[in-house]
C-alpha cells in the first residue's frame, strides 16, 4: 500500500528533529555528547523519590492508579502555582493547567490559537520542539534575530508591521535555547509594549529560569503583563526530572478552558503518580536547595567549558556569549558559511554537537553556528570534548 495519499498536509513534508537522528548515530558509547539538552543526572533525587513513590502506591493506590482530572491533581496545581508565583507570573484572571511536560502546553496553546495560515513570530534561532509544534498547525514562522541581549526589538517591530495574521510572539527570554542569551529588562518591556500596540499574544517559555549561576535575575515578561496578554509555560524538567514529564501553563482562564479541552482529547490527563510524587517531594524536601545544587554544578560545568574553549578554540575565529545560567552555549564561526563539515568531522572524532540550522525557521539554509550543552557531560568529558572540537576547528577554520 501507498500511504502518502492518506497523510494530512501538515505531516507530508515534516522533518523530524535532526538532533534525534544524530542521537541514533550516537549509539557508540565512546562518543562524548555535547549535543543534547539533558539536565545533569548525577543529582537526581532517586532515593528520595523512591521512598515517596513506594509510599504513595502502598498507602493510596487508588489515587495514584485511577483516572485523574484533565487540569491536573489539585495539589500539583498548587505546586505549579507556587513556582509561577515565585516569579510573579500568575495574573488575577489566570488558570493553571498541569501538562505532561511544558512542550505539551506549548503544542496545545498553539492548537488553541492557530488557524492555517496564521503567523507566529519566533526568535531566530529557537527551540526546535516548539517550532515543529507550530509547524504542525500549518502556520507561518517569522524569525527575528537574537542579539546578545535577546530578540532584536527593531526586528520584532518590523515583523509585526509587515505581517498580517500574527497571533503570538513565542519567546524563551531567559537562558534561551539554543543561544543561552537572556533578554534585557528594557527589551522585555518593549516586547509587551509592541504586543499591545499590534494586538498579539506572547507565549513565554521559561524552562531554564531557575538555573541562574551568575548575574542578576530579570523579571519574567509575564510578571509585567498588565493586560492579560502573556501565556506562561513552566517546567519541572530542569528542576526535578525531565523523565517525569511535568510542566504547566499559566493562561487567561478563557484561553485555559480551551487548552484544557484540547488536553482532554489529547492524553486525558497527566499521569497521576508522577504528579503525586512531585507534590510529596515539594512537601518533604526543599526544592530550592535542590535547584541551588544544580545551579552550582551548572556554573562549574559552564566555567569549565568556557575555560577550555578559550584554551583550545582557534583565537578570534569563534564567537560566543558566556551564559549566566541555563544549559546551552552558542558558537558562531564568522569566517565560514556552513558548519556541516565541522559537525561531521567532530562526530568522526567522537564528539557530538548540533549545527545551528536545526534551530532556524528555514532549516535548509546553511548556518555557521553550533550549540553546545554543558549540563549533562562530566567535567572530564567537557574538557576532552572541547579539546577535540578545538582540533577540528583549528584544522577546518
Name the minimum Å distance from CB 213 to a copy of itself. Answer: 21
- Residue 36 engages a copy of itself in binding (rule: CB under 8 A): yes
> 11 or 365, CB closer to a copy of itself?
11
Which of 370, 360, 367, 301 minimizes the C-alpha distance to 331?
370
How many angstroms separate the Cα of 276 from the Cα of each of 55, 239, 326? 11, 16, 27
Name the minimum Å distance from CB 216 to a copy of itself. Answer: 30
Supply 27's cell numbers. 549509539
> 50 or 335, CB closer to a copy of itself?
50
Q: What would the DSSP string read from start to end of 82-145? A: HHHHHTT---TTEEEEEESSHHHHHHHHHHHHPPTT-EEEEEES--HHHHHHHHTTT-EEEEEE
- Cα separation, 36 vs 327, whole angstroms: 10
Show contacts with a copy of itself in window 358-387 (CB under 8 A): none
Show contacts with a copy of itself in window 180-209 (CB under 8 A): 201
- Cα separation, 340 vs 368, whole angstroms: 8
Which residue of 27, 92, 164, 265 would you call a contact of a copy of itself, by CB under 8 A? 265
Print the binding letters for residues 50-69 with a copy of itself: x by CB under 8 A, - otherwise: xx-xxxxxx--xxxxxxxx-
Name the minimum Å distance from CB 356 to a copy of itself. Answer: 20
> 182 or 274, CB closer to a copy of itself?
274
Name the minimum Å distance from CB 249 to a copy of itself. Answer: 13
Which residue of 195, 255, 351, 389 would you call a contact of a copy of itself, by CB under 8 A? 255
* DSSP designation for 357: G
- Cα separation, 344 vs 253, whole angstroms: 48
> 35 or 331, CB closer to a copy of itself?
35
> 87 or 166, CB closer to a copy of itself?
166
> 11 or 335, CB closer to a copy of itself?
11
Look at strands 32-33 and 351-352 and give their pairing. Answer: parallel
Name the minimum Å distance from CB 172 to a copy of itself. Answer: 16
The H or E element containing residue 346 is helix 340-348
- Residue 393 engages a copy of itself in binding (rule: CB under 8 A): no
Show contacts with a copy of itself in window 266-305 (CB under 8 A): 266-274
Amino acid at each position: 500500500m501507498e500511504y502518502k495519499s492518506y497523510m494530512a498536509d501538515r505531516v507530508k513534508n515534516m522533518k523530524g528533529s535532526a538532533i534525534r537522528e544524530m542521537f541514533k548515530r550516537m549509539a557508540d558509547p565512546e562518543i562524548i555528547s555535547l549535543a543534547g539538552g539533558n539536565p545533569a543526572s548525577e543529582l537526581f533525587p532517586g532515593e528520595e523519590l523512591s521512598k515517596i513513590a513506594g509510599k504513595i502506591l502502598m498507602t493510596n493506590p487508588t489515587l495514584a492508579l485511577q483516572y485523574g482530572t484533565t487540569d491536573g491533581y489539585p495539589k500539583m496545581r498548587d505546586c505549579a502555582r507556587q513556582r509561577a508565583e515565585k516569579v510573579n507570573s500568575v495574573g488575577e484572571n489566570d488558570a493553571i493547567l498541569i501538562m505532561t511536560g511544558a512542550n505539551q502546553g506549548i503544542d496545545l496553546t498553539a492548537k488553541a490559537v492557530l488557524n492555517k495560515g496564521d503567523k507566529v513570530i519566533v526568535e531566530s534561532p529557537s527551540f526546535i520542539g516548539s517550532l515543529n509544534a507550530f509547524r504542525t498547525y500549518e502556520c507561518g514562522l517569522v524569525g527575528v534575530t537574537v542579539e546578545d541581549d535577546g530578540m532584536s526589538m527593531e526586528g520584532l517591530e518590523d515583523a509585526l508591521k509587515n505581517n498580517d495574521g500574527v497571533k503570538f510572539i513565542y519567546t524563551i527570554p531567559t537562558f534561551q535555547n539554543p543561544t543561552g542569551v537572556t533578554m534585557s529588562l528594557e527589551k522585555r518591556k518593549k516586547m509587551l509594549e509592541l504586543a499591545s500596540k499590534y494586538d498579539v499574544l506572547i507565549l513565554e517559555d521559561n524552562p531554564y529560569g531557575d538555573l541562574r549561576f551568575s548575574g542578576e535575575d530579570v523579571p519574567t515578561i509575564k510578571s509585567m503583563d498588565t493586560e492579560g496578554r502573556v501565556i506562561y509555560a513552566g517546567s519541572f524538567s530542569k528542576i526535578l526530572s525531565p523523565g517525569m514529564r511535568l510542566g504547566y501553563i499559566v493562561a487567561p482562564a478563557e484561553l485555559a478552558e480551551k487548552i484544557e479541552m484540547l488536553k482532554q482529547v489529547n492524553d486525558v490527563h497527566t499521569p497521576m503518580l508522577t504528579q503525586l510524587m512531585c507534590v510529596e517531594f515539594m512537601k518533604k524536601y526543599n526544592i530550592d536547595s535542590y535547584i541551588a545544587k544544580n545551579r552550582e554544578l551548572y556554573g562549574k560545568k559552564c566555567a569549565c567549558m568556557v575555560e577550555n574553549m578559550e584554551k583550545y578554540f582557534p583565537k578570534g575565529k569563534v564567537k560566543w556569549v558566556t551564559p549566566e545560567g541555563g544549559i546551552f552555549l552558542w558558537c558562531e564561526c564568522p569566517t565560514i558559511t556552513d558548519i556541516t563539515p565541522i559537525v561531521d568531522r567532530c562526530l568522526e572524532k567522537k564528539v557530538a554537537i548540533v549545527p545551528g540550522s536545526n534551530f532556524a525557521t528555514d532549516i535548509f539554509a546553511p548556518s555557521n553556528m553550533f550549540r553546545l550543552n554543558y549540563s549533562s557531560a562530566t567535567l572530564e568529558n567537557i574538557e576532552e570534548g572541547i579539546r577535540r572540537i578545538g582540533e577540528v576547528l583549528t584544522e577546518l577554520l
